[in-house]
Amino acid sequence: MAREYDVVILGGGVAGYYCAKALRKEGKSVAIIERDSLGGTAIRWGAVPVKRALDFFKENKGNIEELLNRWQDDLAELGRRTKSSLSSIGVDVYYGEGELVDSHAVKVGGSILTSGYIIIATGTEAISIDGIPVDREWIITHREAVELKDIPKSLVILGGNVEGIEFASLYSQLGVNVTVIEKENSILPGYDGDLAYPIEKKLMDKGVKIVKGKSAIKAYVENSNVKVILDDESIMEGEKVLVTLLRKPNFPKGIERLNIRYSESKILVDSNLKTSVDNIFAIGDINGIMGLGNVAINQGLQVAEYILNGRNISMNYESLPRAVFTLPEIAGIGRQEEDLRGVSYKVGYCNFKDTWRGWSRDLDEGFVKVIVDEGQNVLGIWMVGNMVSEYIGMISPLFNNNLTLDHIKSNLIIHPTLTESILEAVLNINNGR
């Protein structure tokens, strides 16, 4: 069976999902091919489910049994919502592994889909590390961890990165004895120490053991437990081991038939996210630019705009808003102090408990940090606290227009709200570092 579309998208993760919606809204005929479950890592196999579970604890919605009893229904609902959102606007969804036939045709099952444009949004997947083979039963990835089936009594997490620490937050809340192994000397590499410290303290208060400055070199199953050997020959042990360290690209089948340039780790693209074949794009994690869900979404939307209107793509990755959905959360935009070594800058802090809204809510944790240069240009705004991810996203348009201290001081902020803490932090700026 042959079908013709304006655009065929390989991959139903967030990059493909938002690209399809934007194209379809403007009247383009669109097909998405998904080999597994719609939503990908961001919606189905990691980010959204983990956040939903953590929000259960952040908002005191009930006991653990309630969460676990309805968890599989919640995951199924995610799939239904994603499929319904696409189908309701006329995006056709095909399940199976898409195979590139030529630059204008993709095969899936018994169907050949032809199109003017092909968009590769196949993402990446977790893989084993040397000496620690993933078997998805004893040594698992985020896909198995997010199912919350057969909760282990103990869990060893390899990697104190964002993924590892978010799962440490979740599983420690579920009563699991968690150990985190991080080869660097601090957890959450890439985040300032004052931002990471409250998360580390909360984890340790929940009984999480954090091993820093050591690498896992081998793991094996013995007596229904997994033993992990570290580079100093010490041994950590748990019922399961969660690997969060390495990922590999999901290159689409048939890519070798086309003149698409790719390396071992990614498909190569130009500034407009085009591959070396003019009508084929690669968006999201598969292009290796930055493995974040909000980057994938934005790339999907911008490629849609390029196809619809020919508008060149422009993204400022330096001022990318970011969040870590732990207990408490980290969220921010711009540069951090560790990015500014050798550069003169100033910092202002405000604790949420010292704001009027913080007092009214009896907050006892969380703060805002504002970093500025000598010219009073805002270099970064960073927060730690419950649900701070909700406050930072829409600061991005302001930040990308050269936000200064005068802009913050001369604009109105609702009183009393926690966003007043940004103004308070500005007023508390010190004399420089």
Q: Which is nearest to 108 in space by CA: 123, 92, 125? A: 92
Question: Residue 398: pLDDT band by 50, 70, 90 thresholds?
Answer: confident
- For residue 354, name the pLDDT band (cuts at 50, 70, 90): very high
Could you tell me which residue, 39 or 9, shows the higher pLDDT? 9
Average pLDDT score over residue span 360-379: 95
User: Using CA atoms, how far apart are residues 331 and 177, in angstroms rounded to an integer?
Assistant: 27
pLDDT at 316 over 60: yes
Six token digits for residue 392: 């930072």
Q: Is residue 160 located within the same domain as residue 103?
A: no
What is the CATH number for 105? 3.50.50.60
Q: Please tell me the total count of domains within the chain.
A: 3
Q: Is the pLDDT of residue 433 over 70?
A: no
Task: Output phi, psi for 236, to 5 deg.
Answer: -110, 150
Is 158 within 8 Å of 243 (Cβ atoms)? Answer: yes
Residue 329: domain span = 319-427
Look at residue 396 in the predicted model and tell me its pLDDT. Answer: 84
β-strand 240-243 against 139-140: which pairing, if any? parallel
Residue 412 pLDDT grade (very low, low, confident, very high; cuts 50, 70, 90): confident
The pTM of this model reads: 0.93
pLDDT in tens, 54-84: 999 888 887 888 899 889 898 888 889 999 9
Say if residue 35 is in the same domain as residue 108. Answer: yes
My answer on whether 86 and 173 are in the same domain is no
Q: State the pLDDT at residue 411.
A: 87
**Is residue 355 a part of any domain in this protein?**
yes
Calpha distance 138→140 (Å, rounded): 6
Residue 143 lies in a domain: yes
Q: So what's the pLDDT on residue 40?
A: 85
Burial of 76 (0-12, 13-18, 19+ CB in 10 A): exposed
Q: Are residues 116 and 211 in the same domain?
A: no
From residue 396, how far is each of 122, 391, 402 by CA, in Å? 27, 11, 10
What order of strands is seen across the sheet that includes strand 139-140? 139-140, 240-243, 154-158, 177-182, 209-212
Residue-wise pLDDT tens digits, 174-223: 999 999 999 999 999 999 999 999 999 999 999 999 999 999 999 999 99
How are strands ordered across the β-sheet holding 329-334? 322-324, 329-334, 378-385, 367-372, 346-351
| pLDDT-derived band at 430, boundaries 50, 70, 90 | confident
In a domain, 295, yes or no: yes
Structural domain includes residue 432: no
Does pLDDT of 432 surpass 70? no
d(CA 148, CA 71): 8
CA-based nearest residue to 239, from 150, 141, 146, 169: 150
Residue at 6 is within a domain: yes
Residue type, 117: Y
Assign 47 a pLDDT band (cuts: 50, 70, 90): confident
Tokens 């292009």 appear where?
287
Contact of 11 with 279, CB cutoff 8 Å: no
pLDDT in tens, 237-271: 999 999 998 899 999 999 999 999 999 999 999 99
Q: Using 50, 70 and 90 to split pLDDT, how confident is the model at 36?
A: confident
Instruction: Confirm whether 186 is domain-assigned.
Output: yes
Q: Quick check: helix, strand or coil at residue 375? A: coil
Report yes or no on 92 lying in a domain. Answer: yes
Q: What span, in angstroms and rounded, lies between the C-alpha atoms of 343 and 324? A: 26
